[in-house]
Structure 1
Amino acid sequence: MSESGKSKGWLVISFGILVLTIVYVVFQPPQNTEVLPRKIDPEVMGALEQSTATETTAGPGRYIDNPDAIAAGKAEYETHCAACHLSDARGAIGPNLRKRLKFGSTPEKIYKSIEKGRPAGMPAFGKQLSNDKISKIIAYIESLR
């Protein structure tokens, strides 16, 4: 077979694939026919708003200024954090936690650093520490500032 015969064969195959693709797209029924949202039940909406309000008050900074939580956070800090950040949080291997932090100093940013870890050495503690314990550690760190 000549070169032009091979080229025509590939051209026919390519054209056939293109035609089949167009036919499939045109005649394929839509997977989701319900475009408009359903009416939201007011009871469900109220529960959603209440849970959102609870999350706001139950965020990572919820224990700041709570002496019992700060004491518990200090104990957790000594166990999990002091090896790198020192007991006084002034930093050794890890950074000084009493100053502005590279990845953010808000309770939410500190929470993310503890939970997920950070590049260049900060391990993730999300599987070892509960959300509550991390929030108490944050309260302790904030009490040092």
Structure 2
Amino acid sequence: MASGGSSGSKRRSSACWRTTKRLPGPRAASGRDDPMENPFGDMERHNKVPRGFLVLVVGLIAWGVYYIAAYTPEISGWSQYKVFARDAEADRAKSAAGAKRMDENPYEKDEKSIVEGKLLYAEKCAGCHGADLEGGDGPTLVGHLKFGEVDRLKFESIAGGRPGGMPGFESELGRDRIWKVLAYVDSVREYGKKP
């Protein structure tokens, strides 16, 4: 027989049953026999809330208080709009630096780079645009260019390609070698040649 039980029967070994005690309920004390007087029985009022659950609830409340204090602009001064504005300004500065770097050909007057550009043109471009830039499968590079005369636009055409058959060469050649090809093409072209 297990000690501490009031029913006189053998106690169960389950952990749940060990933490509860059967005490005489109000029905037994008052002598009433109404089952609706205590519908859940005497066992329910003696079960304690598990400590882990209490720790979880207290932790969630503490986290909520911290979150409200940390992310309410009136309290902390933090605002997602300030973060967004700072990120947008950094992106604008980065793209402006990249655009400035790409606007003009840095190898335009460098003879060594023009010779290297001629070799690259013969290897990669002459098959479609012709050895003398007069065209073939691809359009002519002498005269007016379809996608613009500005160095930046010509660079974009070679780097990213164009619809209708022009592949992009940035991953294959890289930025510097594309600029060298453009330096060669501009040195040979009649229209749009800079003095």
TM-score range, shorter chain: 0.5 to 0.7
Supply the AA of the counterpart residue of 2:170: G
**Cα separation, partners in 2 of 1:55 and 1:82, compared to 1, 3 Å:** same
CA contact (8 A) 1:113 1:124 kept: yes
Matches within 5 A, 1:14-25: none
Structure 1 partner of 2:61: none
| Cα distance in 2 between the residues matched to 1:117 and 1:69 | 22
Q: What is residue 69 of structure 1 aligned with on the other side?
A: 113
Alignment gaps of 5+ in structure 2: 1-70, 87-92, 190-195
The structure showing larger relative contact order (alpha-carbon pairs under 8 Å, at least 6 residues apart) is 1
Q: Residue 56 of structure 1: CA displacement?
A: 3.5
- Structure 2 SS opposite 1:114: helix
Cα contact 2:118–2:181 (8 A) shared by 1: yes
Cα offsets for 1:99-120 (capped at 9, x unmatched): 1111112111111000110011
Quick one: percent identity of the two aligned structures? 33
Is the contact between residue 129 and residue 140 of structure 2 (CA under 8 Å) also seen in structure 1? Answer: yes
Is contact 2:107-2:183 (8 Å) kept? yes
Shift of 1:58: 6.6
CA deviations 1:35-93 (Å, max 9, x no partner) are 458xx9xxxxxxx7xx94x9746755111121111000001101100000011111111
Tell me how far apart the structure 1 counterparts of residues 121 and 108 of structure 2 sit (CA, whole Å).
15
CA gap 1:30/1:60 in 2 versus in 1, 3 angstroms: farther
TM-score (norm 1): 0.62
1:82 has 2:132 as partner: no
Give secondary structure in 1 for the equivalent of 2:170. Answer: coil
Structure (1 or 2) with the larger CA radius of gyration = 2
Q: CA RMSD in A?
A: 3.1
Which residue in the other structure is 2:166 paired with? 122
CA distance in 2, matches of 1:119, 1:135: 21
Cα offset, 1:138, TM superposition: 0.4
In the TM superposition, 1:1-145 aligns within 5 A as 33=79, 35-36=81-82, 52=97, 56=100, 59-145=103-189
- Letter paired with 2:160: K
Cα distance change, pair 36–102 in 1 and its aligned pair in 2 (3 A) = same
Matched to 2:113, the amino acid is: A
